Every structure is written in C-alpha cells, then in structure tokens.
C-alpha cells in the first residue's frame, strides 16, 4: 500500500472511529504529510517524483530515525516529539489493521523534552486585559464575553469555538464543554462571565436574526457575518487586547487556560479538581502547573519570612 493512501485511511479512522476534533485531525494530517514529503525527497526519489508514492512496507526504523534527525535544528523538541508520535500512531494503526507486519517507529526514542513552564498572567494583568474591550459596542461586548469565559472556565480555544447558546446553563452557573475525543465535561462559569455573555447576547440580537434568531443550537460566539467564530479568530481577539494593554508576555488563548489553572492552584484548589476542570485524562499533565505555584510560594516565602 502507498503511504499517502495509508495516511488517508488513518485520517478516516481518526475522524469516523475515534471522533477526534477537526483541529486534532488537521494536526495529524500536517505531521504525516511532512513525513510523506520526507519520504518522497529521500527514500523514494529513485522510483518516482510523486510525493508519498512509496510502499509502507519499504519503511524501516532507520528511515524514521533519519526523518526525526532531519527535524533537529529546525523545530523545538516538543514539536519533534509530536511529529514522531503521529508517525508512531500511524504505523500502530496499520499494524492493528493487518496492513503492515510491524511498527517501525515503535522503538524510536522520543526526544528528551525541555522543562516547560506555562506562560500565564498575574491577576492584576488579567483585570487590565478584561477592562480593554469597549462595552459600548457589540463587538467589544463579544470580545469581553470571550475573554471572561476563557479565564473563568479554563477551556481550550477549540472548545470555546464549539460552544452553542445551549451550552450555558445560566440558572445553575454551569457550562457544557466538548473536549478532546468528543469527551464532554461540565465546568462552572463565574458570575462576571455569565453577566458578560448575557450582555453580549442582548447586544447582537439584530445580527442573530440573519441566521434564525437566538436558537439553542446556534453558536455562542459569532463573527460579523453571523457565522461561528473560528479558533484562529479567537486567537486574534486575545492578541489584539494583549497588545492594546501593553503586556510584554506572549499570550494566546491557551495562556488564558494556563492562567486559570495557576490562579486556581494559588487560590487553594487541589490538583485533582483542577484536572477535572481542565479535562486532562492524566494527572501528570496537570502537574506542570504545580511548578508555577511553587515558584510563587517560594517568592512569597522569601519576601515574608524573617529568616528566609
């Protein structure tokens, strides 16, 4: 079987059987497409100039090691690890489907990752950021609601994109989120965030009329044409107000998620509760935030203790 054909089978499996999000599937397609390009330019060049026209059976561990080696110096180790993971999952799928005898990527060592400390905002900077949107304009109210929900709930940009009006229970103060692998979870939404969402919905009723009004299955956050606000647009909104606020940090929607988790732990929340709120399947994923909180704790100790 040709590599490109096998990749399409794998992508269809992720979409139809695993129920992965469009964002995750796009990342797999990009990573495996890059692997296919490498094969075409090195391994299979003597046979054909067509990208990926290489038999799956022809790929051995040495070829994959060469591919991983070609990524060093151009990408961060986290990106290399992700690309290797995509290749490993791809061959594992082929092996389980009986389309390849072995997984040539199974024993390829994952790069040792750098210690990663999440970027987050101090509380005062969050408040400054939330004061920037113009509350006199519908677009400003939308952006304020977007920022408030990101900070109040700690959800991913892709999860925010997928929210519908029906996702928020205003009576109970809860929000239903569809996360990775189509897993649903319920998280609390703060009073200020709910107020911002209500004001935003009231302000854009005229725009909603173009798409049938305030239907329960309508997207919560929309663009000026009435369509669902994309993940990329959500990122642009966050960066716009970060720039206007004059913050020197490199802040993204995911940084708001980091900020939420860090402030929850600083406020006394236990790690297991934060794990549930973030939708992490493994507690080890959540533990990276403890480093940030411990740094903060040491800073307070050094400033406060007379014998520090």
Average pLDDT over residues 24-33: 93
Catalytic residue among 88, 142, 156, 263: 156
Report whether 133 contacts 241 (CB < 8 A).
Answer: yes
pLDDT attached to residue 51: 40
156 is catalytic: yes
pLDDT at 112: 78
Looking at residue 249, what is its pLDDT? 73
Q: Is 22 helix (H, G, I), strand (E, B) or coil?
A: helix
Residue 267 clears pLDDT 60, i.e. is over it? yes
Catalytic residue among 83, 88, 142, 257: 257
- Select which of 208, 239, 280, 291 is catalytic: 280
Strands of the chain (E only): list them.
Answer: 168-169, 174-178, 184-188
User: How is 263-302 classified by DSSP, letter by letter?
Assistant: HHHHTT--HHHHHHHHT-SSHHHHTHHHHHHHHHHHHHHH
Task: Identify the pLDDT of residue 46.
Answer: 44
String of DSSP letters for 47-90: T-SSTT-SBGGG--HHHHHHHHHHHBTTB-HHHHHHHHHHHHHH
Is pLDDT at 195 greater than 90 in this prediction? yes
Catalytic residue among 28, 67, 151, 289: 289
Say if residue 258's pLDDT is above 60: yes
Residue 130 is predicted with a pLDDT of 96
d(CA 9, CA 21): 17
Q: Give pLDDT, residue 50.
A: 44
The pLDDT-based confidence of 116 (bands split at 50, 70, 90) is low
Whose structure tokens read 């107020």?
Answer: 195
pLDDT score, position 57: 87
Which domains can be identified in the chain, with CATH numbers? 3-96 (no CATH), 123-303 (1.10.443.10)
Phi, psi of 230 (to 5 degrees): -80, 165
Asked whether residue 302 carries a pLDDT value surpassing 80, the answer given is no
For residue range 276-285, list pLDDT tens digits in order.
899 888 887 7
pLDDT value at residue 47: 46
Per DSSP, the three-state class of 164 is strand
pLDDT at residue 68 greater than cutoff 80: yes
Look up 291 and say whether it is catalytic: no
Q: How far apart are CA 7 and CA 10, in angstroms?
A: 5
Among residues 216, 175, 222, which one has the least CA distance to residue 194?
Answer: 175
Of residues 204 and 196, which shows the higher confidence score?
A: 196
Is 83 among the residues known to form the active site? no
Reported as a single tens digit per residue, the pLDDT across 227-255 is 899 999 999 999 999 999 998 778 999 99
Query: In the numeric block, which tokens belong to residue 242?
Result: 């970060």
Give the Cα separation of 258 and 156 in Å (integer). 10
Residue with tokens 């929607």: 253
Concerning whether 257 is annotated as a catalytic residue, the answer is yes
- State the catalytic residue, choosing from 65, 77, 82, 180: 180
Q: Which residues pair with residue 219 across a beta bridge?
A: 164
Q: Is the pLDDT of residue 55 over 50?
A: yes
| Radius of gyration of the CA atoms of the chain, in A | 23
Of the candidates 128, 135, 254, 288, the residue annotated as catalytic is: 254
Average of pLDDT values for 141-161?
A: 96
């Amino acid at each position: 079987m040709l590599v490109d054909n096998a990749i399409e089978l794998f992508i269809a499996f992720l979409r139809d059987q695993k129920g992965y999000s469009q964002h995750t599937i796009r990342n797999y397609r990009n990573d495996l497409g890059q692997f296919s390009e490498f094969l075409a330019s090195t391994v299979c060049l003597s046979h054909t100039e067509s990208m990926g026209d290489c038999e799956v059976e022809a790929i051995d561990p040495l070829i994959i090691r060469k591919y991983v080696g070609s990524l060093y110096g151009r990408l961060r180790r986290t990106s290399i690890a992700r690309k290797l993971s995509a290749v490993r999952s791809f061959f594992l799928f082929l092996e389980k489907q009986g389309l390849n005898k072995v997984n040539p990527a199974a024993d390829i060592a994952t790069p040792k990752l750098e210690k990663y400390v999440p970027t987050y905002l101090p509380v005062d900077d969050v408040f400054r950021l939330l004061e920037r949107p113009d509350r006199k304009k519908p677009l400003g109210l939308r952006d304020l609601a977007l920022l408030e929900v990101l900070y109040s709930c700690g959800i991913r940009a892709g999860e925010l994109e997928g929210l519908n009006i029906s996702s928020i229970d205003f009576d109970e103060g809860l929000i239903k989120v569809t996360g990775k692998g189509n897993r649903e979870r319920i998280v609390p939404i703060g009073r200020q965030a709910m107020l911002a969402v209500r004001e935003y919905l009231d302000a854009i009723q005229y725009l909603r009329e173009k798409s049938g009004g305030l239907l329960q299955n309508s997207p919560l956050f929309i663009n000026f044409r009435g369509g669902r606000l994309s993940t990329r647009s959500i990122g642009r909104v966050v960066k716009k107000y970060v720039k206007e606020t004059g913050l020197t940090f490199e802040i993204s929607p995911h940084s708001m998620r980091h900020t939420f988790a860090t402030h929850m732990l600083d406020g006394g929340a236990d790690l297991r509760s934060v794990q549930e709120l973030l939708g992490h399947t493994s507690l080890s994923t959540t533990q990276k935030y403890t480093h940030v909180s411990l740094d903060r704790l040491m800073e307070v100790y050094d400033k406060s203790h007379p014998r520090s």
